Amino acid sequence: MPELALTEAPVRELTAGDLPRLLDLGEDRGWSREVRKWQLLLQVGTVYGTEAPDGRGLASALALTRYGPGLAAIGMVLTAERYARRGLGRRTVRHALTAAGDAVVTLHATPSGRPLYEELGFRAVSRAPMRTGEFRPDPAVDAAGVRPARATDLGPIRALDLEVFGADRTSLLTRLPSFCDQLLVAEEGGRLTGFAGSWRNVGGTVIGPVVGDSQDTAKALIAALARSAQGRLRLDVDVRHAELCDWLDARGLRGADWEQSVMVYGADEAPGDIRRRFVPVTVAL
């Protein structure tokens, strides 16, 4: 297919039937075959992609998740290695930004991807190293107020999440009980003060989301999740949570040398309250 056809290939909405090809595209770029993560993204958001001109699967893909009219997230931005650095990724991201309308858009960028996003108008507001390791319990953490989530907790979870993110994320929150292997809440005096989950991914357990009214609440939720997690843990924490980051270092969950930039498009900062927004479900959301 001529070069012109590559740059003009239509960006289309993908479906669950495209999951095997999304996994193949990720593997082409050295990613694990993260079935559960892609399934969640296909359920709560819109996954866009372009067909490879040579007929070998997808040439590009990304996930756009909208949380009402004011907030959206872009993640899992991929271009097949054989089509890299030819403008296809830029065009796919532009398509997603158009679909997002007037919403503020968030994105976690790899070091190699950051220059492209800056060119498109994103600005870096922070960093989020990937933290992995074996958790060492902290006897000083009080998790007495932490318990498994119940169906009746959904309303309070939605209310807290709306305050913290400044947008209605009901489509995601209602799927957490089935997606997460553990979903916990923290409460004090009968009031819900936080919630957190963990889920199995390739090679271990991911902790996320973690939302809470304080660093101590976040620590209690993470410690409770880590107690029964299987394999190595992973979580991605914004470096603006310095106290929590220091605590995680001491608990054996150290940040890798490789880290992602937290980026925002359409505003100086994402809406909501960063002080209570500790860990995402995944950096793609």
Dist. CA 129–CA 234, nearest whole Å: 10
Note the pLDDT of residue 5.
Answer: 64
Q: Are 131 and 254 in contact (CB under 8 A)?
A: yes
The Cα 55–Cα 58 span in angstroms is 8
Q: What is the pLDDT of residues 234-275, one digit of tens each?
A: 999 999 999 999 999 999 999 887 789 999 999 999 999 999
Query: CATH number of 131-256+271-279: 3.40.630.30, 3.20.20.70, 3.40.50.720, 3.40.50.10310?
Result: 3.40.630.30
Domain boundaries, the chain: 3-102, 131-256+271-279
Q: Do domains 3-102 and 131-256+271-279 have the same CATH topology?
A: yes
> SS3 for 147?
strand
CATH superfamily of 3-102: Gcn5-related N-acetyltransferase (GNAT) (3.40.630.30)
Q: What is the pLDDT of residue 8?
A: 75
Span 93-100, average pLDDT: 98
pTM of the model: 0.94
The pLDDT value recorded for residue 4 is 46
At 25-67, the pLDDT tens digits run: 999 999 999 999 999 999 999 999 999 998 999 999 999 999 9
Give the angle 201-283-70 at the CA atoms, nearest 5°.
135
pLDDT at residue 7 greater than cutoff 80: no
Q: CA–CA separation, 56 vs 45, rounded Å?
A: 25
107 close to 121: Cβ distance less than 8 angstroms:
no
What is the residue whose two structure tokens read 């590559």? 6
